[in-house]
Amino acid sequence: MFALGPIVFTAPWLLLGLISLPVLWILLRVVPPAPIRRRFPGIALLLGLSDEKAETDKTPWWLLLLRMAAVAAAIIAFAGPVLNPQTARPGSGPLVVLIDGSWADAGDWSRRQDRVASLLAEALAAARPVAVVMASDPPSGQLNFVGADQWQRRIAGLTPNPWSPSDTSWIRAQAQDFETYWVSDGISHPAREDMLGALQTKGPVTVFEGGSAVYALRPARFEDGLVVMKALRAIGSDATELSVAGYGLDPVGIERALAEGVLEFEAGAREAEMSLSLPPELRNRITRFQLTGIRSAAAVSLTDDSLKRREVALLTGRDDREGLELLSPGHYLRQALEPTAELLDAPLGDVLLANPDVIILADVARVGSNEAEALLEWVEEGGLLVRFAGPRLAASDVSRAEEDPLLPVRLRVGGRSVGGAMSWGEPKSLRKFEQASPFFGLEIPEDVNVTSQVVAQPDPDLASRVIASLADGTPLVTRKRAGQGQIVLFHVTANAEWSSLPLSGLFVQMLERLAISTRPERPDAKALEGTTWVAAETLDAFGGLESADTLAGVAGEALATDPISGKMPPGVYENDVRRLALNVMESDSSLEPAAWPASVPVEGLLAPRETRLKGAFLTAAMGLLLLDIIAALFLSGRLFRGAGHVAGIALIMLLPNGARAADELHAIEATRDVVIAHVITGDPEVDRIAFAGLRGLGDTLFRRTSIEPREPVSIDLETDELAFYPLLYWPISAIQPLPSPDAYARLNRYLRSGGMIVFDTRDADIGGFGSTTPESRKLQQLAAGLDIPALEPLPDDHVLTRAFYLLQNYPGRYAAGDVWVEAAPPDAERAEGMPFRNLNDGVTPVVIGSNDWAAAWAIDQSGNWMFPVGRGYGGERQREMAFRFGVNLMMHVLTGNYKSDQVHVPALLDRLGN
């Protein structure tokens, strides 16, 4: 083989033909272009005139060059050039293809899949047994080495995980030696060296890494009234800009980008910082920050309460002691809350209008009856009312005889005083918090003691309302729930008058636990000890949010210390009062590129693909020859003769097809008779077939049943009203764009109001259940926004099997695919003596299949079948069955579960031979 840089020729001796080019040059040079013959009476005047210049009869040099280039391209093409010819990778024996499968892989996942696929193809060619392993999801036990072809099918189904690999024990557990191809994410993580070492004991390791830059976003911090964001990248390359957006629900309840900013990486820098100034209302709405356009869990930073600043209204009863700031009931609260919460200072009536998160009443005995009602209403809607006792409360008769709705317990008259100058006993300290208490796990400092308090009346439900008590068991903090909110009473004052609690750190921690204040930093393990958290939403490796209904709870200390794993995926965790975000990147995480020892060969992620250039060169030669035709026409003055006509035709083609008919007229047309509709997918061929299919089905319905549909209609989901059509046929095309939220809303309304959508992925010939053809992936995306109930494969006793014809299979152009419909209620029972269950309600809102029904139904304008179905008689039978299924579908849509009624059962039984 003759190589020229990355290009190799398979038949290099043909290149000798290039030598003939100069000869060709001379030949072409002397042959003039062909003349045009013209009839011209003026020739009488021309006779005797001779051409002025002799060389004008030669071909111009640029035309010659064009022709030479065409010939040269043809010669090179037949010499068989190949770009990047593949050479086989040496090696034999068992092979492990190891994929990191972490969040850093997500951005380039399909390229990694391609790389793995090409490695598998090599292994298949070398007949090596292969095991594909995802390091983030390591296998248990011995690896199962099988043929590479078995893995090839499973590659498409692999998805990365939003955490880094950490477990390496599985490598050492292998009994067998193997070679490793390690498709790495290129990011350093703690277990990497260990893993490499372990793998090297088993056999040689080759690393493949590369791909696009990896970016990560650290959690947003709150600093000096600004939200500070920091982004990292693994490799400090050129200066670049990334935009970051904060997403949250807007006041209407739609998630949208509420804040946006730009992070600027300087050239060579690996960190970029940016701060956003956001009003508290907006800031509290943001649920996540995300680097725009980067698909990775690390590019998403979920926010939790630490970014939120609660609005706390502080009302104190006693303002008469001016100047004695330290004795003011609000002083310690203000000190404790000011750094972490927005404090509101206003009369109660105004405060309630602002709808704060928390209202603190420090030694306020009574509020006006109007205000009390409003306050109670606010609490019941989820407010947290915190009250502190004090001389006023002790002196008043509030909640004496019967419980005040705004106090958790009844109070004894006067309260009590211990350890003072006029009383016996020591000041009381606090008892350890019980497990049910929100304060469970908080350490109680030695020096916290209580000298005075108001005392709760012993009522039957007192025990359940106490969340903190003194060493002698007297309630110190009580709580009751009211509606969705709660009312908490500290039986001591908010200043240091009755106890030293407000002076201690415990006071702040207790306020935190009650979610009155929030802390900018992640609570440490100690602070979280004893709490249990449940995942509300989790992140996948691509940075998408998923609901996490099925995950078990996580202990608080694990949340603080353990690395992210399958048991504890990144996401938002919550307990009854607080939310905590667990992000892939923590505020101290770093992003380092992986460093490999020199002994490990590292290859790029993108395998240079072997490309045969013959076709390209031949095309170029052809193109040059076409150019030559145009040039020759131009030279002989014949080029523009037809130009006018061409322009005219082009102009006609550009004319618009006429405006859309008026909506109203359209609605009348659509509702005058039954009209079947199909969704416009944007793929003209698919749309054409769908339309023709519905036309064919309509003809059949017209001939065989009392349904007499009109010409079918093509529906644009974005603009057209759906309510007029009983059935919407939706062929899935991989290129269809997702409908807008508006369109989804209308689709869901359509489904809820009794419409039926028949999804047809048209791929039963290549895909079965669980396979991932582009169409079925598209269907998943499309259907994600739809309100679709639980599905099951069409059961044998479904009404669709007997709505008009008795059917047991539902072929279209293909006969292999399953058909899925809404699942029957689990309690459906088979009726006595009947072969059917009693399934009396509802029409299935969706039918999902892949048999390409429209193609089986499709007829052209003159009524001929557009597509062959099957072969011979069997094919015709299959088409007939396809039509019968279509008829049943329409019958089912239009008559509901009429056939499920018992009326026709005897006749049906008779026909079934029962």
Partner 1 sequence: MNTNPQTAAHLRERAETASAGFPALLAAADQLAASVALGEHGRRRSGLGDEFWQYRAAMPGDNRRRIDWRRSARSDAHFVQEKEWQSAQTVCFWVDDAMSMSFSGDRNRVTKAHRARVIALAAAGLLVRAGERITMPALPGPAKTGQAQLMRMAQSLLDEAEDDFGSPAQHHFPRGSRAVYVSDFLGDWQRIETALTQAADHGVRGALIQVLDPVEEAFPFDGRTIFESMSGALRHETMKASGLRDRYLRRLADRKADLAALARRAGWQYTTHHTDGAASSALLWLYTSLAARH
| Contacting positions for partner 1 (CB under 8 A) | 32-47, 49, 51-53, 56-57, 635-637
Which residue has tokens 């005058």? 672
Which residue, 37 or 871, is less far from partner 1 as judged by CB? 37
Measured from the CB atom, is 57 or 461 closer to partner 1?
A: 57
Structure tokens at 710: 């009109």
Please, what is the minimum distance in Å from the beta carbon of residue 37 to partner 1? Answer: 5
Q: Shortest CA distance to 613 belongs to which of 107, 6, 52, 149?
A: 6
Give the angle subtended at the CA of 891 by the CAs of 885 and 892, to the nearest 5°.
85
Helical (H) or strand (E) element with 388: strand 384-388
Nearer to partner 1, 55 or 841 (CB): 55
- The residues pairing with 342 across neighbouring beta strands, listed in sequence order, are 311
Residue 874 structure tokens: 């069997």
3-class state of residue 452 by DSSP:
strand
Compute the least distance from the CB of residue 64 to partner 1, in Å. 16
Task: Give least dist CB 624 to partner 1, A.
Answer: 21
Distance in Å, CB of 23 to partner 1, minimum? 24
Nearer to partner 1 by C-beta: 52 or 224?
Answer: 52
CB of 44 to partner 1, least distance (A): 5
How far apart are the C-alpha atoms of 103 and 111, rounded to whole Å?
14
Cβ proximity to partner 1: between 51 and 549 the closer is 51
For 200, counting Cβ atoms within 10 Å of its Cβ (0-12 exposed, 13-18 middle, 19+ buried), the class is middle
Residue whose pair of structure tokens reads 């018992």 in the numeric block? 902
Nearest to partner 1 of 53, 703 (CB atom): 53
Alpha carbon distances (Å) from 3 to 80, 82, 611, 725, 842: 11, 9, 14, 64, 70
- Nearest CA to 729 among 706, 754, 697, 707? 697
Nearer to partner 1, 36 or 552 (CB): 36
DSSP H helices, 541-683, are 556-561, 614-635, 643-654, 663-672
35, 137, 195, 238, 700 from 200: Cα distances, Å: 77, 20, 9, 35, 68
Pick between residue 43 and residue 652 the one whose CB is nearest to partner 1: 43
* Element at 511 (helix H, strand E): helix 505-513
Q: Which is nearer to partner 1, 19 or 34 (CB)?
A: 34
| Torsion on CA atoms 300, 302, 306, 308, rounded to nearest 10 | 110
Residues pairing with 604 in the sheet: 209
CB of 761 to partner 1, least distance (A): 56
Between residues 44 and 127, which has the closer beta carbon with respect to partner 1?
Answer: 44
Closest CB to partner 1 among residues 32, 420: 32
Residues 6 or more apart whose Cβ sits within 8 Å of residue 774: 734
- Burial of residue 541 (CB within 10 Å: 0-12, 13-18, 19+) is buried
Tokens 């709705």 sit at which residue?
405
The smaller minimum CB distance to partner 1, of residues 634 and 769, is found at 634
Compute the distance between CA of residue 553 and CA of residue 574 in angstroms, rounded to an integer. Answer: 10
HSE-up (13 A, CA, CB side) for residue 176? 15
Nearest distance from C-beta of residue 32 to partner 1, angstroms: 6
Furthest-apart CA atoms within the chain: distance in Å: 146
Query: Cα angle vertex 622, ends 620, 627, to 5°?
Result: 95
Residue 643 vs 661, nearer CB to partner 1: 643
Nearer to partner 1, 45 or 595 (CB): 45
Least Å distance between CB 649 and partner 1?
A: 18
Q: 3-class DSSP state for residue 694?
A: helix
Rounded-to-integer distance, Cα 842 and Cα 754, Å: 8
Report the alpha-carbon distance of residue 322 to residue 275 in Å, rounded.
41
Least spacing, CB of residue 628 vs partner 1, in Å: 16
Residues whose CB falls within 8 Å of the CB of residue 90, separated by 6 or more in sequence, listed in order: none
> Which amino acid, residue 134?
M
Task: Pull the structure tokens for residue 450.
Answer: 């209580």
Q: What Cα–Cα distance (Å) separates residue 684 from each residue in 182, 272, 679, 731, 735?
A: 43, 46, 12, 12, 11
Nearest approach, Cβ of residue 652 and partner 1 (Å): 21
Smallest gap from residue 27 Cβ to partner 1 (A): 18
How many other CB atoms sit within 10 Å of the CB of residue 111? 16
The residue (of 56 and 369) whose beta carbon lies closer to partner 1 is 56
Whole-angstrom distance, CA of residue 248 vs CA of residue 241: 23
Question: What is the helix (H) or strand (E) element at residue 247, kind and residue range?
Answer: strand 240-249
Q: Where are the alpha helices (DSSP H) in 679-793?
A: 684-704, 741-752, 774-784
Looking at beta carbons only, is 158 or 635 nearer to partner 1? 635
Q: How far apart are CA 16 and CA 19, in angstroms?
A: 6
What gap in Å lies between CA 722 and CA 714, rounded to an integer? 11
**Cα 460–462–467 angle (5° rounding)?**
155
Is the Cβ of residue 36 or residue 907 nearer to partner 1 in the bound state? 36
- Helix, strand or coil, per DSSP, at residue 422: coil
Q: Which is nearer to partner 1, 27 or 912 (CB)?
A: 27
- CA-to-CA distance for 681 and 679, rounded, in angstroms? 6
